């Protein structure tokens, strides 16, 4: 990815090296430059302490000597100041002109896809088919989609996948409850989304199961005995056994209810704006991994116990012993994940795999990645667990079995309604056709939700507050969307103007602040992609918008004194609009042209 700051920083660093050589006769490694802190004057800062110690001169004096040499020898440096051994460098007009010219690339900040290279795979969502998607899934999906878009922006092809957990006792609970209490209800007959309908019966099972347990405890059973002896749980376990044996009736019911859920999921995914290139299903992948275990036994990576179970001893690596195959020959989740990882590298030409999974699975992925490395897979070093924190509500945690979750569909609808109410109160949409209003409410509401979630570092636990997210002021999606619409309006009024930045242009500090932030966009995108951290882009866009609004509110743009000022400021506005639109796009957020 083209980084316009790299050349500038290289030139200044080389000039510092030359200054040190000329003044002190010392050859030094390329110095590290930092962005100057906002409270000080300057653009780049070099720390003089190391050299001061070498030459035996106070840091401030070293800074003065090097700074004066820079003024004389480097045409990119206009001035400098010293703050307690820190040399702060102010850029000359030529440096700003060079940066301005570098920003005129059409797809600035986005690299062309390298079709001849392996792709990167990102796994996210991975829902269970016993309940609809909820707020936790929303954070997962938004992170997965955004990380995929960021990696793609660096020029890498991306394969997006999910694994659907469509088997196990939790699935049988919904199936059994529907069979007992459903009276043939279907999504069509009830007018209910399929995933919501199945989730309803998962909650119904839990409610009836608790009642059975309470009755057993009242009759003298312990709580543990009641859990095991409750008729509903025994029936669910029997249904799971029949599923594993391929019983025709159970399999038909399983397929039918799963199709209801898949259709419901797809509707929610479309609303969220996420998609997948391939779906993996646990009902198919649970048989994978056994061959890898056998190969690991041959390599001495695993060992077999007397009961026939297969284990790996990871205590020398600071972990523990882990079973990878039960004594009856059946697999555990680790076995399946080993096999699924191997299968994905066979299915696709990929060189990395990122798992977007909550931090409660941190230990699981440490073990998984370590085992794959011990099995000798070269690509195991390119496995990444994007371990994200849970999402809480202002009133506490969600509990899906009790039905106390924030449903994803309900949340999206609520965000649209909230956006509509606020927009109407502010009177911003008078005269707009109703269909356009509805579309804008979706854009604003969904943008508010996505930005509120993605601006938080993925590793941090967060509290989602819908009321705070929909606001036209502050660090929110609607605030950024409104700024983009304001810029679009400004550009419509400006018409076509030549984008100029002559070397003798008298730059205003507010212009150079915006320009310097614009120049950081490609680097921010690359760093966000490498770290799998969309929050870096979200907060970068917010800081850019704040700087532009400072320029907009304090400097005239269309009515500036000089034509060159008008052209330059319009050009800055155009570039800010492009970066806001592109940056929000990486987050799955639409930037409207009118609000």
One-character DSSP codes across 181-201: H-TT--HHHHT--HHHHHHHH
The count of other CB atoms within 10 Å of the CB of residue 275 is 12
Could you tell me which CATH number the domain at 409-586 has? Answer: 1.10.730.10
Q: Whole-angstrom Cα distance, residue 159 to residue 143?
A: 15
Element (H, E) at 65: helix 59-73
**What is the mean pLDDT, run by run of 10 residues, along the chain of 595 residues?**
90 96 93 94 96 95 96 95 96 93 85 96 96 94 98 98 94 96 96 96 96 96 94 96 95 97 97 97 93 96 96 97 93 94 97 97 98 97 96 63 71 90 76 87 94 96 83 88 95 81 82 96 97 98 97 95 91 96 98 90
Quick check: 447 and 544 in contact, CB under 8 A?
no
- What's the pLDDT score for residue 428? 66
Q: Whole-angstrom Cα distance, residue 239 to residue 256?
A: 15
Strands 77-83 and 303-304 come out as unpaired
Element (H, E) at 291: helix 290-299
Helix (H, G, I), strand (E, B) or coil at 89: strand
Q: Whole-angstrom Cα distance, residue 84 to residue 135?
A: 49
Helix (H, G, I), strand (E, B) or coil at 103: coil
Strands 278-281 and 391-392 come out as unpaired
Instruction: Output DSSP code: residue 398.
Output: -
Burial class (CB in 10 A: 0-12, 13-18, 19+), 429: middle
* Triad 221, 226, 228: Cα angle to 5°: 130
Domain with CATH 3.30.1360.70 in the chain: 4-91
Quick check: 26 and 72 in contact, CB under 8 A?
no
Domain with CATH 1.10.730.10 in the chain: 409-586
Residue 399 to residues 19, 226, 268, 357, 588, Cα–Cα distance (Å): 64, 22, 20, 18, 28
- What's the pLDDT score for residue 332? 92
Cβ-Cβ contacts under 8 Å for 276 (sequence gap 6 or more): 125, 160, 161, 162, 269
Residue closest to 200 by CA, chosen among 184, 226, 181 = 181
Q: Whole-angstrom Cα distance, residue 304 to residue 325?
A: 9
Cβ-Cβ contacts under 8 Å for 55 (sequence gap 6 or more): 24, 26, 62
Strands 86-91 and 44-47 come out as antiparallel
Q: Cα–chain-centroid distance for residue 266?
A: 20
Quick check: 123 and 356 in contact, CB under 8 A?
yes
Indicate whether this model's pTM tops 0.85: yes
- What's the pLDDT score for residue 158? 98
Phi, then psi, of 84 in degrees rounded to 5: 50, 50
- What's the pLDDT score for residue 403? 46
Q: Whole-angstrom Cα distance, residue 590 to residue 461?
A: 26
Q: How many residues does the chain have?
A: 595
How many CA atoms are closer than 13 Å to the CA of 291, on its beta-carbon side? Answer: 8
Residue closest to 332 by CA, chosen among 168, 170, 175 = 168
Q: Whole-angstrom Cα distance, residue 183 to residue 48?
A: 79
Residue closest to 79 by CA, chosen among 389, 475, 512 = 512
Instruction: Output DSSP code: residue 165.
Output: B
Strands 350-358 and 383-388 come out as parallel
Could you tell me which CATH number the domain at 4-91 has? Answer: 3.30.1360.70
- What's the pLDDT score for residue 404? 53
Cβ-Cβ contacts under 8 Å for 299 (sequence gap 6 or more): 375, 376
Cβ-Cβ contacts under 8 Å for 184 (sequence gap 6 or more): none
Please state whether 431 falls in left (phi above 0), alpha (psi between -120 and 50) or beta. left
- What's the pLDDT score for residue 395? 67
Q: Whole-angstrom Cα distance, residue 575 to residue 587?
A: 19
- What's the pLDDT score for residue 400? 43
């Amino acid at each position: 990815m083209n980084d316009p700051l790299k050349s500038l920083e290289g030139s200044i660093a080389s000039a510092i090296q030359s200054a040190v050589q000329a003044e002190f006769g010392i050859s030094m490694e390329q110095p590290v430059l930092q962005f100057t802190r906002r409270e000080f004057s300057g653009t780049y800062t070099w720390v003089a302490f190391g050299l001061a110690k070498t030459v035996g001169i106070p840091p401030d004096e070293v800074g003065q000597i090097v700074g004066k040499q820079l003024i004389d020898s480097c045409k990119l440096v206009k001035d400098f100041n010293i703050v307690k051994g820190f040399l702060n460098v102010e850029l000359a007009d030529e440096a700003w002109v060079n940066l301005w010219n570098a920003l005129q690339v059409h797809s600035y900040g986005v690299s062309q896809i390298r079709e001849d290279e392996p792709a990167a795979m990102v796994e996210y969502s991975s829902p269970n088919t016993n309940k609809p998607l909820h707020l936790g899934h929303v954070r997962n999906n938004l992170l997965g989609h955004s990380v995929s878009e960021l990696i793609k922006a660096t020029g890498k092809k991306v394969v997006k996948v999910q694994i659907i957990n469509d088997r196990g006792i939790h699935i049988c609970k919904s199936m059994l409850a529907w069979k007992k209490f459903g009276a043939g209800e279907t999504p069509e007959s009830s007018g209910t989304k399929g995933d919501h309908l199945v989730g309803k019966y998962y909650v119904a099972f839990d409610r009836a199961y608790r009642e059975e347990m309470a009755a057993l405890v009242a009759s003298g059973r312990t709580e543990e005995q009641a859990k095991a002896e409750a008729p509903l749980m025994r029936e669910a376990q029997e249904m799971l056994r029949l599923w594993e044996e391929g019983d025709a009736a159970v399999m038909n019911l399983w397929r039918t209810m799963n199709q209801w859920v898949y259709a419901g999921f797809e509707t929610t995914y479309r609303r969220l704006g996420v998609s997948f290139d391939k779906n993996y299903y646990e009902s198919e992948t649970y048989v994978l991994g056994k061959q890898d275990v056998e190969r690991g036994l041959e390599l001495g990576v695993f060992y077999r116990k007397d009961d026939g179970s297969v284990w790996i001893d990871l205590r020398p690596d600071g972990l523990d012993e882990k079973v990878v195959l039960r004594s009856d020959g059946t697999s555990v989740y680790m076995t399946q994940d080993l096999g699924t990882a191997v299968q994905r590298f066979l299915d696709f030409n990929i060189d990395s795999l990122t798992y977007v999974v909550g931090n409660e699975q941190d230990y699981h992925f440490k073990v998984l990645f370590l085992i794959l490395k011990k099995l000798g897979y070269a690509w195991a070093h390119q496995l990444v667990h994007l371990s994200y924190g849970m999402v809480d509500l202002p009133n506490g945690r969600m509990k899906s079995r009790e039905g106390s979750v924030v449903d994803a569909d309900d949340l999206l609808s609520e965000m649209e309604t909230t956006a509509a109410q606020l927009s109407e109160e502010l009177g911003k949409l008078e005269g707009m056709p109703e269909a356009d209003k509805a579309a804008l409410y979706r854009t604003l509401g969904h943008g508010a939700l996505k930005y509120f979630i993605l601006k938080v570092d993925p590793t941090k636990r967060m509290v989602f507050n819908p009321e705070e997210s929909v606001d036209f002021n502050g660090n929110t999606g609607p605030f950024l969307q409104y700024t983009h619409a304001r810029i679009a309006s400004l550009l419509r009024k400006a018409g076509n103007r030549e984008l100029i930045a002559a070397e003798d242009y008298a730059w205003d500090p507010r212009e150079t602040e915006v320009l310097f932030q614009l120049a950081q966009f490609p680097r921010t995108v690359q760093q966000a992609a490498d770290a799998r951290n969309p929050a870096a882009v979200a907060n970068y866009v917010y800081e850019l918008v704040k700087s532009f609004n400072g320029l907009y509110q304090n400097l005239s743009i269309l009515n500036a004194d000089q034509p060159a000022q008008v052209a330059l400021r319009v050009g800055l506005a155009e570039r800010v609009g492009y970066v806001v639109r592109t940056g929000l796009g990486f987050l799955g957020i639409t930037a409207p042209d009118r609000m």
